[in-house]
Structure 1
Amino acid sequence: MQHLLTRIQELAAAQAADVVAQRHHLHAHPELSFKEFETAKYVAAELRKLGLDPQPIATTGLVAHIEGRNPGRRTVALRADMDALPIQEQNEVPYRSQNPGVMHACGHDVHTSSLLGVARILVQLRDEFEGTVKLMFQPGEELVPGGASIMIQEGVLVNPAPQSVLGQHVFPQLPAGKVGIHAGRYMASADELYLTVRGKGGHGAMPEQNIDTVLVAANLIVAAQQLVSRRANPKIPSVLSFGKVIANGATNVIPNEVYIEGTFRTMDEQWREQAHVHLRQLCEGLAAAMGASCELEIRRGYPCLDNDLTVTGRVRAAMVEYLGAGNVVDIDQWMASEDFAFYSQQVPSCFYRLGTRALDGRFASSVHTPTFDVEAQALTVGPGLMAWLALRELAAEA
């Protein structure tokens, strides 16, 4: 396989300017989740230039196949997300967003242009590998229920069914040229919590005539934190955070109701289900004990992202082959969430991180910020590495 590795590196270097140009186009024309209509048209046109036949899925998603020799032997799926965020860009660059209030602040323009680069490489090598590479260009990663769940519902994981799914994500914590990987449970599930506490408002000087919703809400917030710390297995990462509390009274007015929003995240699907039950019992029971009532709505988000140990072991070894051991970094679990997790719950998968910071420290802004940008070298590393990982997965025996 050494000749293929060298060939991929050469092709990745030769097309670097094209990938950068595609990324700049996508960055300048961002679209929000499930509204990626022009993005999908652009991606489809680029795939057709390569002789591929992209098919629509999940409204603004696309799927295409690159068949090598003996295409039925094995299939690997590669995923890129295409949506942007509702953020006003602050970067002063020629390719800055032309759509006010919308920005590729999470690197999905990098993921999409990178997968187009993978397609360009593998089309030229299709006589040198066996199996099928499924390209999945996905909408709506940033918005529940997540484009991945819809892609799966519409059959993206069949005809042909992949034996593994790979995805990459930008990572400004690492410099371009390095990648990060974590085997096993990597990213958390994420559920949204919406609580409404109802009581009896009135004058703050006469609490005996009221049912104090603010006091009930304060007790609920504290008790919920204790529930997570006391009921969760200490070996299972869990986070419960409340970020919004509206008690629209006054200095001397107790409101009739208090509204609370929060998030619950964990790395264990069984504990996730148990926690939902415990939270409902706590909210309803504590409020009732204090003479009030509480309605809790739990909006299920993305599940835990589990990097299959076998697939991730193969991917890590292939990364070392392509980049060298010094450029492959073992990273820690992360309590953020990603809808790639839906794929990982269905098919053995690996989701890894692509370094995007410059060696001099530039491009270090975090994702989801108005100054996020990437070092151009990442757009050479990303496509070449993913192409190599795909061929390594196709060559696997298990």
Structure 2
Amino acid sequence: MKTIDKIKQLAKTYSEEFIGIRRYLHQHPELSFKEYETCTYVRQQLIEIGIVDIKSVADTGLLATINGLCEGKTILLRADMDALPIREENTVEYVSQNIGVMHACGHDVHMTSLLLTAKILFQLRHEFSGTVKLLFQPGEELMPGGATLVMKEADYKSMGSVPHLGQHVIPKLPVGKVGFRSGLFMASMDEIYITIIGKGGHAAVPEECIDPILIASHVIVAAQQVVSRMASPKTPSVLSFGRIIGDGANNVIPDKVIIEGTFRTYDEEWRTEAIDKLTKMVKSIAEGMGAECIVDIPRGYPHLKNDPELTNAMKKGALDYLGSDNVVDLDLWMAAEDFAYYTLKNPACFYLLGVGNTEKGITSGLHTPTFNIDESSLETGGGLMAWLALESLV
């Protein structure tokens, strides 16, 4: 039997078992850099597979190794582990038991898929040459990103520059399909924190106040000029504000307003320039209207660029494994990922795994309280990554 057929058979055979593993992980989510029980559970699963070379990285992460029949190339396969501070609204039997915390970004799927990949590759270890590294990474959702901590670890650095593969679930793509994009793929991400300090008072005497609510409204509208009038139309950019805190009342003007948002783009030079322009504009508007303004924009994740040679090879491998009807070309995605840090130092490929199913009503987006997946995607995700890993080692 050909290796590709063995992988498909093993993925199918173990799929039901790994649905149970995914449900356990979904029921027991943990926030970024607090994945202690998750780490213990994943370690136990690796041990039960038969993998004994398991190192701790970044406190709550793991780096495991599967050696083939003889020495050869090395590839790293990565899954993230953390959940989000979201209260789940699904009514499934495996709903989160940690109220207010949910695997709403599919990291439970990423871990389970990589565990299935590990089981397949461990059983086939006498049929390939080289080394497969399995990275279960904490803290993807929270700056500075678990990737930055992993990359400082001696066990990681000792590998040198090796190909990295990562996958991410996407509900907009039907189950059974995967998507690839060579070159620029995901955006950089910077967090924006603006505090406007005015002078509060009674809403009936605004002349005695410096109204931070009004000033905030001017700031939010004007700031969009950074994207609409200052950015080149050839450079994708997004500026969004998602949180405004003005703790007043219908007849109370507050002393201050806090605005939080994000800026994303694909050009590092423009990224720096845009942040500088935004900072100056916001301060100028606020101070011109009599308020004090504090702007804090901590540097976030870089943009993610897939290595063209590796990505094209992985896409070809996916075509062989899934067929042309199930492999699609992706557009730019303005989401951000700390996997991008790995792409700065290594040839890397980050691709998307379809988990949606409109017939089953599985359509909710990432980071929503009703996010869910078609669990047959685990068979696709685990099997495909095993095949792609072996293809990269040839």
Give the aligned length: 393
For the residues of structure 2 that align with 1:265 and 1:314, how far apart are their CA atoms? Answer: 29
Report deviation, 1:253. Answer: 5.3
For the residues of structure 1 that align with 2:111 and 2:51, how far apart are their CA atoms? Answer: 18
Structure 1 equivalent of residue 315 of structure 2: 316
For the residues of structure 2 that align with 1:34 and 1:255, how far apart are their CA atoms? Answer: 35
Report deviation, 1:155. Answer: 4.1
Q: How does 1:283-322 map to 2 (within 5 A)?
A: 283-322=282-321
Q: How does 1:71-110 map to 2 (within 5 A)?
A: 71=71, 73-110=72-109
- Cα 1:173/1:361, change in 2 over 3 Å: farther
- Checking the alignment, whether the CA contact within 8 Å between 2:161 and 2:345 is kept in structure 1 is no
Contiguous gaps of at least 5 residues in structure 2: none
Q: Deviations over 1:141-170 (max 9, x none)?
A: 222222112111224642223421111111
- Checking the alignment, whether the CA contact within 8 Å between 1:245 and 1:259 is kept in structure 2 is yes
Report deviation, 1:254. Answer: 4.6
- Cα 1:296/1:131, change in 2 over 3 Å: same
Report deviation, 1:229. Answer: 1.9
- Checking the alignment, whether the CA contact within 8 Å between 1:75 and 1:162 is kept in structure 2 is no
Indicate the larger mover: 199-208 or 310-319: 199-208
- Checking the alignment, whether the CA contact within 8 Å between 2:244 and 2:260 is kept in structure 1 is yes
For the residues of structure 2 that align with 1:167 and 1:219, how far apart are their CA atoms? Answer: 41
Structure 1 equivalent of residue 277 of structure 2: 278
Structure 2 residue 371 is the aligned partner of structure 1 residue 382? no
Structure 2 residue 25 is the aligned partner of structure 1 residue 26? yes
Report deviation, 1:187. Answer: 1.5
For the residues of structure 2 that align with 1:256 and 1:86, how far apart are their CA atoms? Answer: 29
* TM-score (norm: length of structure 2): 0.92
What one-letter code is carried by the residue in structure 2 that aligns with 1:368?
H
Report deviation, 1:120. Answer: 0.8
Report deviation, 1:359. Answer: 6.6
- Checking the alignment, whether the CA contact within 8 Å between 1:284 and 1:294 is kept in structure 2 is yes
Report deviation, 1:311. Answer: 1.4
- Cα 1:261/1:118, change in 2 over 3 Å: same
What one-letter code is carried by the residue in structure 2 that aligns with 1:67?
N
- Checking the alignment, whether the CA contact within 8 Å between 2:51 and 2:66 is kept in structure 1 is no
What one-letter code is carried by the residue in structure 1 that aligns with 2:389?
A
For the residues of structure 1 that align with 2:387 and 2:55, how far apart are their CA atoms? Answer: 24
- Cα 1:183/1:211, change in 2 over 3 Å: same
Structure 1 equivalent of residue 2 of structure 2: 3
Report deviation, 1:239. Answer: 0.9
- Cα 1:175/1:252, change in 2 over 3 Å: closer
For the residues of structure 2 that align with 1:197 and 1:101, how far apart are their CA atoms? Answer: 30
Contiguous gaps of at least 5 residues in structure 1: none
What one-letter code is carried by the residue in structure 2 that aligns with 1:267?
Y
For the residues of structure 1 that align with 2:211 and 2:343, how far apart are their CA atoms? Answer: 45
- Checking the alignment, whether the CA contact within 8 Å between 2:113 and 2:378 is kept in structure 1 is yes
- Cα 1:243/1:105, change in 2 over 3 Å: closer
Structure 1 equivalent of residue 56 of structure 2: 56
Report deviation, 1:384. Answer: 0.8
- Cα 1:374/1:288, change in 2 over 3 Å: closer
Report deviation, 1:250. Answer: 5.3
Structure 1 equivalent of residue 135 of structure 2: 136
Secondary structure at the counterpart of residue 299 of structure 1 = coil
* TM-score (norm: length of structure 1): 0.92
For the residues of structure 2 that align with 1:145 and 1:3, how far apart are their CA atoms? Answer: 43
Report deviation, 1:217. Answer: 2.6
Report deviation, 1:110. Answer: 1.1
Secondary structure at the counterpart of residue 303 of structure 1 = coil
Report deviation, 1:294. Answer: 1.4
